[in-house]
Structure 1
Amino acid sequence: MTNPRANGLRSVADQSEDERGGPGSILSRQSRDHADLDALMRAYDAEPDADARGRVVAELAERALRHAFAEETVLFPAYRQHLPEQGEELTAHIEGDHQQVNDLLEELQDADPRSPDYDALVRRAFEVIRHDAHDEEDDLLPRLQQVASAEELRAIGAAWEVQRRTAPTRPHPRVPRRPPGNALAAVPLAVTDRVQDAAEHLAGARGARRAAAAGALAAGAVLAVLAARALRRR
């Protein structure tokens, strides 16, 4: 067993899955996602080819943006609910970091991986992402663990996963960081992002005509999912 950190809390990184509340707990889901993001950052470091590095950054950006959106719509409101005296302060700092990451990823979205400035921009984004992961695993998540039951942590984790899967996939720095503004904006953005994703993917492989058709199908699929969710909430 690892000793508590200086704040008196035991980091999620030092806990077993059972201690976190099981694989569906928000603690376990966040920790796995942080590990996936870290693996992509290490893959970037190990990749010598500029174009391949650009593809790694594009994948990292999508994962990081989905992760952050799920935090802002599910996890951070849970902090403010369960920790009313601390939640505001705890989440405000990371919301600022999320805004910075969105700004950096928007720049990277149109940047040339061969540009002399590209790597420095990527590493600034990596620094903020890693800092957030440590803050969450060493401080925020253990604080939530102290006041929420394992069942509550699993319920938060399930809601977080739904939002992560249906979140926008591209940076949108001007979208509000808090509900209900971010949740309302996510509906059309999730559709348009997936249309663009499908179009770009197929344009390179099969041509623009098929890409447009795939984009329309992707939009229809996303709208169907969102409509079904809306009906379940009635």
Structure 2
Amino acid sequence: MPPSITQQSVEELGGEASVLVRQRRDHAELDRLMNLYTAGSQPAERRRQTLEDIIQLTFSHAFAEETVLWPTLRRLAHDGEELTSRVEQEHQEINDLVAAIGRTGPADPRHDELVEQAFSLIRQDIRDEEELLLPRLQEAVDHDRARLRHLGTTWETVRRTAPTHPHPAAPRRPPGNALAGVPLSAFDRVRDMFRAGARAPRTRTIVVGSAALITAWLAARRARANH
């Protein structure tokens, strides 16, 4: 099996557009943000925003993996089921922890402990992906640069439209996660916009209307599938 993706050059990983390079870039950003939060040097409001940035990146990244990458690994590698089941369990535990964080505030004595546990699991998840799953995916596609770039484009498209907050009861695998992801993503991204200060009446109308349209589309699709 190839070495950890942290030990390979961009060229060895298939180029800048490769899914392996994109994954590594996200992992580095998560590590930077977690270190920034843990340092405790930011003002309280900015520190809360850093935690929010970590949560949004973690869940959009994981959803894209579960939708695009892990099905490919299960299909191509004999040990794909074992490897992806392990990381899916980590994702579920992170979901549960971050949902618990959302039920506490910074003044709650459990808050910092839950954040520390979540960060520890996120770091473990990153190690497992960089050292096991992604090198195995690289091997399974026979280092095919075109295929790695195609996976990268698909993964990035899904990540940019994925849910950004924990949904512990949502399915972890296609097609269930993809179907659930449409309304969940609409809900999350409307909430993110409001939290970021998108308060203007016109903006509210646009984002809420968009969410309603997406949810209606999903309902119609399900109705057609039942006939």
Mark yes or no: TM-score above 0.5.
yes
Matched residue SS, 1:18: coil
Residue 225 of structure 2 is matched in structure 1 by none
Whether 1:172 aligns to 2:164 is no
Residue 215 of structure 1 is matched in structure 2 by 207
Q: 2:156 aligns with which of 161, 165, 171?
A: 161
Q: 2:34 aligns with which of 41, 47, 54?
A: 41
Q: 1:53 to 1:15 in 2, by over 3 A?
A: same
1:214 and 1:106 mapped to 2: Cα distance?
28
Equivalent AA in structure 2 for residue 116 of structure 1: P
Greater shift, 108-117 or 211-220, is seen at 211-220
Equivalent AA in structure 2 for residue 60 of structure 1: I
Contact 1:58 1:109 in 2 (8 A): no
Residue 82 of structure 1 is matched in structure 2 by 76
Task: Compute the displacement of 1:142 (Å).
Answer: 1.0
**What count of residue pairs does the alignment treat as equivalent?**
215
- Equivalent positions of 1:77-156 (< 5 A) are 77-83=71-77, 85-148=78-141, 149-156=144-151
Residue 5 of structure 2 is matched in structure 1 by 12
2:106 and 2:51 mapped to 1: Cα distance?
9
Contact 2:2 2:139 in 1 (8 A): no
Task: Compute the displacement of 1:143 (Å).
Answer: 1.4
TM-score, length-scaled by structure 2: 0.86
1:147 and 1:212 mapped to 2: Cα distance?
45
Equivalent AA in structure 1 for residue 84 of structure 2: T
User: % of aligned pairs identical?
Assistant: 46
2:204 and 2:134 mapped to 1: Cα distance?
42
- Equivalent positions of 1:194-209 (< 5 A) are 194-202=189-197, 206=199, 209=201
2:209 and 2:50 mapped to 1: Cα distance?
26
Equivalent AA in structure 2 for residue 61 of structure 1: I
Task: Compute the displacement of 1:212 (Å).
Answer: 3.3
Task: Compute the displacement of 1:177 (Å).
Answer: 0.3
TM-score, length-scaled by structure 1: 0.84
Q: Which runs of 4+ in 1 moved over 6 A?
A: none
Residue 58 of structure 2 is matched in structure 1 by 64
Matched residue SS, 2:109: coil
Matched residue SS, 1:16: coil
Superimposed CA distance per residue, residues 135-162 of structure 1 (whole angstroms, 9 cap, x where no aligned partner): 1111111111122112111111111111
Contact 1:72 1:177 in 2 (8 A): yes
Contact 2:65 2:155 in 1 (8 A): yes
Cα root mean square deviation, aligned: 2.3
